[in-house]
Amino acid sequence: MSKHQQKRLQDVLTGSELGNVVSELTPDASTREFYRIESGDTTLIGCVYAAGDAEGPRQLIDVTNLFLRAGLPVAKVIREFVDEGIVILEDLGESILRDALLSSSARESELLINAAIDLIPRIQAATELAITSGSLAGKLRFDREKLLWELNFFKEHYFTSLRGQPIETSIDTPIEEEFSELSVWLEDRASVLCHRDFHTANLMVHSDGSLAIIDHQDARIGSPTYDLVSLLLDRITEPPSDSWLDEKISYFLEARSANGLAALDKSDFRIEFDHQTVQRCLKAVGTFSYQSAFRGKHHFEVYIQPMFRVVLRSIDRLGKYPNLRQILTAELR
């Protein structure tokens, strides 16, 4: 597929005299493909969707324009070829936050994580703009249907696709009832603009240490905890301590206030954070399972057990979802 996608991109570039493809970039878990383009004395990024997909490029352009209007650091759209399923973007470099954290001191890592947290209230501050501007991001919500779909995606692809052992019928119905309860609980708290996939592989680090946001096309309205859960708990190999999470939650709440957003009660926020942890981390495990089972990306599997552990920790704090607790505990080795 890569050769076909690259040819599609090169044909567009040749026809518009924009330059030439020089390298393919790692697309991580994305179904899109990315290429670096040499264009005169600069470089650009080509984002290539499946042939015939015009909706994907339109959504990327729409949310990019929203984020830029809100003063958020994202790559500008240089040219758009919507009918061809291709968008040409500003090149933000090669340094992603995930890699920078691996080579940073403990102190430098904390500063980088805090810088990432600082971006979340700025995204949330764009909620009204998202709604009033007519952006797709302001029309979509983490409602019960979407949240439940993601939880069922986890159930199908972890137990059936990856493990080859579907949940027994006797426990499946109670699990679905708990999934529905969790989804309704979180739907009621969908109130701010969320990036939706705000983790360290979707943040770029500039030479001055500032951060830029990528992979933001799926932004929608959700819980104020959503992006923070994603940043702190997605793709972990070791569950962070409760004291560290508490510190980062406090930092986030202060950053919200600094951005002029309404104050949130910390105790209530922590309860919401735990509910969102259960949903968001299981959603991520579903993605990792699918990528491993169907796309051969087995490197994602290392994150599954640690994320089960943080989900179980949140379930224990909440004192809810006993059937979910039972099946996840059985998966820990």
What is the domain partition of the chain in residue ranges?
Answer: 2-90, 97-331
What CA dihedral angle connects 143, 145, 151 and 154, to 10 degrees?
Answer: -120
Answer whether 113's CB lies under 8 Å from 252's CB: no
Convert the pLDDT of each residue in 235-256 to its tens digit: 999 999 999 999 999 999 999 9
Local structure of residue 31 (DSSP, 8 states): S
Give the pLDDT of residue 83.
92
Question: For the chain, how many residues are written?
Answer: 333
Q: Which fold has domain 2-90?
A: Phosphorylase Kinase; domain 1 (3.30.200)
Query: DSSP labels for 186-221?
Result: HHTT--EEE-SS-SGGGEEE-TTS-EEE---TT-EE
Token duo for residue 199: 């983790």
Model pLDDT, residue 125: 98
Choose the weakest-confidence range: 21-25, 116-120, 226-230.
21-25
Measured CA to CA, the distance from residue 91 to residue 80 in angstroms comes to: 15
Beta strands (DSSP E) in the chain are 20-25, 33-39, 42-48, 77-81, 86-90, 192-194, 203-205, 211-213, 220-222
pLDDT at residue 207 in the model = 86
Phi, psi of 132 (to 5 degrees): -75, -25
pLDDT tens digits, 119-167:
999 999 999 999 999 999 999 999 999 999 999 999 999 999 999 999 9
302 token code pair: 């290392």
Longest dimension (CA), the chain: 64
How many angstroms separate the CA atoms of 180 and 147, rounded? 9
φ, ψ of residue 204 in degrees (nearest 5): -100, 145
Report how far residue 86's alpha carbon sits from residue 77's, in angstroms, rounded to the nearest whole number: 11
Residue 27's pLDDT is 65
Average pLDDT over every residue of 12-25: 90
46-97 pLDDT tens trace? 999 998 899 999 999 999 999 999 999 999 999 999 999 999 999 999 999 9
- The answer to whether the CB of 146 falls within 8 A of the CB of 186 is no
| Residue 26 pLDDT > 60 | yes
Q: Which of 143, 306, 124 is nearest to 232 (CA)?
A: 306
**Which whole number is the average pLDDT over 31-55?**
93
Local confidence band at 29 (pLDDT 50, 70, 90 cut-offs): low
| pTM: predicted TM-score of the whole model, two decimal places | 0.95
Average per-residue pLDDT for the chain: 95
Checking if the pLDDT of 333 tops 80, the result is no
- The 10s digit of each residue's pLDDT in 159-218 is 999 999 999 999 999 999 999 999 999 999 999 999 999 999 999 999 888 999 999 999
DSSP-derived secondary structure letter, 41:
T
**Structural contact between residues 184 and 211, judged by C-beta atoms closer than 8 angstroms:** no
Looking at domain 97-331, which of 3.90.1200.10, 2.40.480.10, 3.40.640.10, 3.20.20.140 is its CATH number?
A: 3.90.1200.10
Q: How far lies 51's CA from each of 9, 83, 305, in Å?
A: 11, 9, 36
Which carries the bigger pLDDT value, residue 238 or residue 26?
238
User: Percentage of residues in the chain with pLDDT exceeding 70?
Assistant: 99
Distance CA 291, CA 288 (A): 5
Closest CA to 233 of 275, 268, 192: 275
